[in-house]
């Protein structure tokens, strides 16, 4: 594997584990057992590394959110969208953690991220539309779809942060797959009132699979 790619990979790993703020370029180099000079041979600066990682993230999510235009959407599609998006979010979780600072540092990133957000919101709106066409959710006015999409976006992008702040101790330890998936439960709860009777039970059954074992795990998960 090329050094350049190794740098990207190690950066992502360290950013996710310890936060971008706590990860210096020297740390990254040390982690790979290469010299700082070497790192700066491959990247002009730290921002460039972050920018490139963002672009991967963007590509991944765009790929996940492709909407078939030759067939109606199914409940399975909806589940897949949710699962995928949370997976993507998990893989690049450092990004949403320090989002505001990162955008302040890099105007390119700010404008790209804005476009990215709008693209995601638009995709969500289309998904709603097609779910309505498929008779899974009720038809809704354009405007409501828009506001709903935004609410779901807020829940999805901040679910991870909530888990990390609401739970005990410091790090990732407490963040299990179960907890992660409770995010899907949250989103499906938002959609619930809009489900068509014919599909209501099916979707509720899926939702049930993501229900947290404990109603609310408010204690530290560490032993």
Binding site for DNA (CB under 7 A): 2-3, 22, 24-27, 33-38, 40-42, 44-47
Least Cα distance to 195 among 140, 152, 120 occurs for 140
Select 70 or 216, whichever has its Cβ closest to its own copies: 216
- CA-based angle 92:87:2, to the nearest 5? 50
Binding to its own copies (CB under 8 A) within 158-197 occurs at: 158-159, 161-162, 164-170, 185-186, 189-190, 193-194
Select 5 or 87, whichever has its Cβ closest to DNA: 5
Cα–Cα distances (Å) from 51 to 104, 117, 148, 200, in that order, read: 13, 16, 29, 42
Cα separation of 177 and 29, whole Å? 30
For residues 186 and 212, the answer to whether their CB atoms sit within 8 Å is no
180-213 b/e (C-beta count within 10 Å ≥ 16 → b) = bbbbbbbbbeebeebbeeebeeebeebbeebeee
Select 48 or 201, whichever has its Cβ closest to DNA: 48
How many residues sit in the footprint of its own copies (CB under 8 A)?
47
Interface pick for its own copies out of 9, 67, 76, 144 (rule CB under 8 A): 144
Instruction: Decide: is 55 part of the binding site for its own copies (CB under 8 A).
Output: no
Candidate ranges 19-27, 43-51, 58-66, 67-75; the one touching its own copies (CB under 8 A): 19-27
The least distance separating its own copies from the CB of residue 20, rounded to whole angstroms, comes to: 10
Instruction: Decide: is 46 part of the binding site for its own copies (CB under 8 A).
Output: no
Least Cα distance to 175 among 113, 116, 97 occurs for 97
Interface pick for its own copies out of 13, 19, 56, 79 (rule CB under 8 A): 19
The count of other CB atoms within 10 Å of the CB of residue 61 is 19
Binding site for its own copies (CB under 8 A): 19, 21-22, 97-101, 103-104, 110-111, 113-114, 117-118, 143-144, 146-148, 150-151, 153-155, 157-159, 161-162, 164-170, 185-186, 189-190, 193-194, 215-216, 218
């Amino acid at each position: 594997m090329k050094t350049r790619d190794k740098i990207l990979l190690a950066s992502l790993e360290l950013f996710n584990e310890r936060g971008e703020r706590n990860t210096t370029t020297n740390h990254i180099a040390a982690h790979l057992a290469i010299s700082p000079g070497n790192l700066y041979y491959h990247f002009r600066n730290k921002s460039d590394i972050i920018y490139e990682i963002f672009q991967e993230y963007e590509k991944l999510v765009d790929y996940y959110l492709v909407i078939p235009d030759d067939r109606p959407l199914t409940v399975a599609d909806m589940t897949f969208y949710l699962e995928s998006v949370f997976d993507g979010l998990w893989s690049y979780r450092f990004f949403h953690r320090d989002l505001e600072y990162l955008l302040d540092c890099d105007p390119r990133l700010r404008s790209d991220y804005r476009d990215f957000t709008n693209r995601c919101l638009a995709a969500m709106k289309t998904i709603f539309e097609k779910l309505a066409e498929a008779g899974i959710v009720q038809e809704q006015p354009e405007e409501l779809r828009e506001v709903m999409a935004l609410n779901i976006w807020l829940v999805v992008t901040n679910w991870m942060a909530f888990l990390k702040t609401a739970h005990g101790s410091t790090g990732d330890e407490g963040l299990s797959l179960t907890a992660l998936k409770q995010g899907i439960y949250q989103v499906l709860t938002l959609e619930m009132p809009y489900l068509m009777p014919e599909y209501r039970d099916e979707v509720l059954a899926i939702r049930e699979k993501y229900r947290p074992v404990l109603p609310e795990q408010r204690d530290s998960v560490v032993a």
